[in-house]
Copies of this chain bind each other. A is one copy, B any other.
Amino acid sequence: MPASVVDTLTFRPGEIILYPGVPDPRDKLYQVREGLVRIQSVDDEGNALTLRFVRPGEYFGEEALAGIERIYFAEAATLTKVDELNPALLSPEETVELTVHLVSAISESYRTIQRLVSQRLKNRIAAALLTFADTPLATQDKAGNPVVHVTHDEIAAAVGSVRETVTKVIGELAREGYIRSGYGKVALINLKGLRELAHRQA
């Protein structure tokens, strides 16, 4: 185990790992070992907005390194194990890994901004379903199609919309044969079509 690891913590789905606020000088950096962490803000009306997913091997809580106010909650999306790291004890290899992850997170944010500006909700939902399929929230059905275990509320948070609107678009995608929608899960039965939707502008 690297010298930087202070502790390993386990969280159940929905448990909060970090709260918004100004980081304390003793705050740690976190690396996901297993599971999935959702970086999410909540507005004054209680609408959640997912800013990033943190997958195994990736880092979060990076504001501790910069003394910058954290404007989100970090929440376990599945049963999740995270390593608590002492930033002062990162090895050169870990520092490089962290830099690569931060650069990827910036690039991912830019794509989110581009989608919000240039794409319709239907295309953004297609993109979000494909993102979910690439996380531990996904299983496979008998035909080998990815099945993502998410609620319409969770999809709404991922695309910056509300449940009612998402439910309408999910119905549309199901009628058009892109997905099969069940309670708390969505099977992606036309991946090629969803990828086309996800890349199309406005």
Nearest-neighbour CB distance to chain B for A20, whole angstroms, equals 11
A103 part of interface (Cβ distance < 8 Å): yes
Q: A89 in the interface, Cβ–Cβ < 8 Å?
A: no
A3 at the interface (CB under 8 A from B): no
Q: Are A66 and B117 within 8 A (Cβ)?
A: no
* A117–B116 CA distance with the chains assembled, in angstroms: 8
Once bound together, how far apart are the Cα atoms of A98 and B65, in whole Å?
Answer: 11
A100 B66 Cβ-Cβ under 8 A: yes
Complex partner residue of A99 from B44, B102, B111, B114, CB under 8 angstroms = B102
Q: Which of the four size classes fits the interface of chain A?
A: 35 or more
Q: Which residue of B49, B102, B107 contacts A103 across the interface (Cβ within 8 Å)?
A: B102
Within 8 A of B (CB), among A96-117: 98-100, 102-107, 109-114, 116-117
Chain A contacts with B in 34-88, Cβ cutoff 8 A: 41, 43-45, 47, 49, 51, 62-63, 65-66, 68-69, 71-72
Write the nearest CB–CB distance from A105 to chain B, whole angstroms: 5
Contact status B100-A65, CB under 8 Å? yes
